[in-house]
């Protein structure tokens, strides 16, 4: 699996920005990795790459943030505080997954069974003060 090293936050951002042109409506990006490994930074890059101009913050309490106005809608989930699959279904994830936008999910590995086969998985790890590794896995 390909691993990229990021030496600073802007490199994590740039990595995700570069993915944006390859995104298709209905696409799903699943992020996993410890606290502070850069998952939200990654989402900022995706949003930026899609041309979304607004603020990107982790939907830790609100469960979902919708970023509209870019090339296609980006739906940002964070499973960190979610305790079971039923809660995820209550948020309406199935509708978002079936929509014409892209879904990106932090802590996706908590409930992997809810995500479709075509999901692209990225594992982020802290490898130093400002160093992170980003590995795409299947």
Ligand X SMILES: Nc1ncnc2c1ncn2[C@@H]1O[C@H](COP(=O)(O)OP(=O)(O)OP(=O)(O)O)[C@@H](O)[C@H]1O
Nearer to ligand X, 45 or 70 (CB): 45
Within 14-53, the residues that bind ligand X by CB under 6 A are 33, 35-41
Q: Give whichever of 12 and 40 is closer to Mg ion, judged by the CB atom.
A: 40
The phi-psi region of residue 36 (left if phi > 0; otherwise alpha if psi is between -120 and 50; otherwise beta) is left
Contact pattern from residue 56 through residue 75 relative to ligand X, giving x for each residue in contact according to CB under 6 A and a dash for the rest: --x-----------------
Length of the chain: 138
- Partner from ligand X, Mg ion, none contacting 38, C-beta within 5 to 8 A by type: ligand X
Q: Would you count residue 101 as binding ligand X (CB under 6 A)?
A: no
Q: With CB under 6 A, what is the number of residues at the site for ligand X? A: 19
* Sheet arrangement for strand 64-67: 3-6, 132-137, 120-126, 28-32, 102-106, 74-78, 64-67
Nearest C-alpha neighbor of 17 from the set 50, 39, 40: 50
Tell me: does residue 110 bind ligand X (CB under 6 A).
Answer: no
Q: Which of 3, 4, 62, 130 binds ligand X (CB under 6 A)?
A: 130
CA 96 to chain CA mean position, Å: 14
Give the residue with the Cβ less far from ligand X, 42 or 96: 42
Please choose, from the candidates 137, 135, 132, 138, the residue with its C-alpha nearest in 3D space to the C-alpha of residue 38.
132
Separation between Cα atoms, residue 61 and residue 97, nearest integer Å: 20
Q: Which residues bind ligand X (CB under 6 A)?
A: 6-9, 11-12, 33, 35-41, 58, 106, 130-132
């Amino acid at each position: 699996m390909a691993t990229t090293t990021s030496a600073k936050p802007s490199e994590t951002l740039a990595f995700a920005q570069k993915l944006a042109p390859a995104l298709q409506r209905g696409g799903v990006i699943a992020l996993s990795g410890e606290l502070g490994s850069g998952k939200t930074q990654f989402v900022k890059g995706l949003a930026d790459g899609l041309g979304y101009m607004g603020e990107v913050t982790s939907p830790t309490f609100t469960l979902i943030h919708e970023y509209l106005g870019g090339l296609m809608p980006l739906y940002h989930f964070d499973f960190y505080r979610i305790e079971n699959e039923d809660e995820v279904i209550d948020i309406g994830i199935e509708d978002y997954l079936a929509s014409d936008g892209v879904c990106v999910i932090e802590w996706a590995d908590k409930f992997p069974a809810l995500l479709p086969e075509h999901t692209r998985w990225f594992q982020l790890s802290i490898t130093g003060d400002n160093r992170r590794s980003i590995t795409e896995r299947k």
